[in-house]
Amino acid sequence: KNQVEQSPQSLIILEGKNCTLQCNYTVSPFSNLRWYKQDTGRGPVSLTIMTFSENTKSNGRYTATLDADTKQSSLHITASQLSDSASYICVVRPNDYKLSFGAGTTVTVRA
Amino acid sequence: DAGVIQSPRHEVTEMGQEVTLRCKPISGHDYLFWYRQTMMRGLELLIYFNNNVPIDDSGMPEDRFSAKMPNASFSTLKIQPSEPRDSAVYFCASLQGNNEQFFGPGTRLTVL
């Protein structure tokens, strides 16, 4: 069964600090990997997308990395802000449209 | 564009009642997806359509669930009869071709 595992389940950081979220997957074949941000009470919104040949992708203070050989990805948040408090979901797409979702990491940024 | 539109945003009903969730995808998108999100199971794909045709409904939990897409701008997800374990947030999403899926705001369903 295709699986996406995320860690940690949750974390708390102080405003201005950095943090890194992890994603391991076993989805095969692999088309692309996205990181989504889901604010409380809203739908997920895509932050980054990476295909097999891409190692890193940035979107403002968000930087995602991908190691397709080890099937690992990370999302790094730099200089966190209160608005970064959300759930971050790693989503892997195989060759069809049936996405595999991680359980998400809940990030809480405190002043 | 207003994005994916879902209604209602919140639904509270009693066990045994019929529930209908509605979705309007982004104009021009040819794929539409229905998901369910719970704390225990996260996001799960229920069914998806391509050009109004159901392609994969293997995620639909039981015969109590049904989905239709009568035209390119409207889809419904119906639960009949509803049960307390159906309580969840139901998301609709749409995309065009191989591009990004855009999610709606979700419908929070509570079955008492």
C-alpha–C-alpha distance, residues A89 and A13, integer Å: 18
DSSP string for residues in B34-73: EEEEETTTEEEEEEEEETTEEEE-TT--STTEEEEEEETT
For the stretch B34-79, pLDDT in tens is 999 998 889 999 999 999 999 999 999 889 999 999 999 999 999 9
C-alpha–C-alpha distance, residues B64 and B56, integer Å: 17
How many angstroms separate the CA of residue B16 from the nearest CA in chain A? 26
Mean pLDDT of chain B: 95
Looking up tokens 């996205």 gives: A34
Mutate to test the interface with A, among B48, B101, B108 (most CBs of A within 10 A): B101
Query: Which of A41, A42, A98 is opposite residue B45, by nearest beta carbon?
Result: A98
Contacts of A104 in chain B (CB under 8 A): 42
- B104 with A43: Cβ contact below 8 A: yes
C-alpha–C-alpha distance, residues B104 and B87, integer Å: 18
pLDDT of residue B99: 84
pLDDT of residue B61: 87
Nearby residues of B18 by Cβ (< 8 Å), 6 or more positions away: B78, B79, B80, B81, B82
pLDDT of residue B98: 77
For the stretch A81-90, pLDDT in tens is 999 999 999 9
Phi, psi angles (nearest 5°) of residue B95:
-155, 165
In a 3-state reduction of DSSP, which class is residue B76? strand
Share of chain B above pLDDT 70, in %: 99
Structure tokens at A15: 């405003």
B106 touches chain A (CB under 8 A): yes
C-alpha–C-alpha distance, residues B101 and B51, integer Å: 15
For the stretch A14-50, pLDDT in tens is 999 999 999 999 988 888 999 999 999 999 999 999 9
C-alpha–C-alpha distance, residues A109 and A39, integer Å: 13
C-alpha–C-alpha distance, residues A26 and A1, integer Å: 8
Which amino acid, residue B107? T
B1, pLDDT greater than 70:
no
C-alpha–C-alpha distance, residues A98 and B48, integer Å: 9
Structure tokens at B87: 């309580």
Could you tell me how many helices (H) and strands (E) chain B has, helices first? Answer: 0, 11
Number of Cβ within 10 Å of residue A84's Cβ equals 20
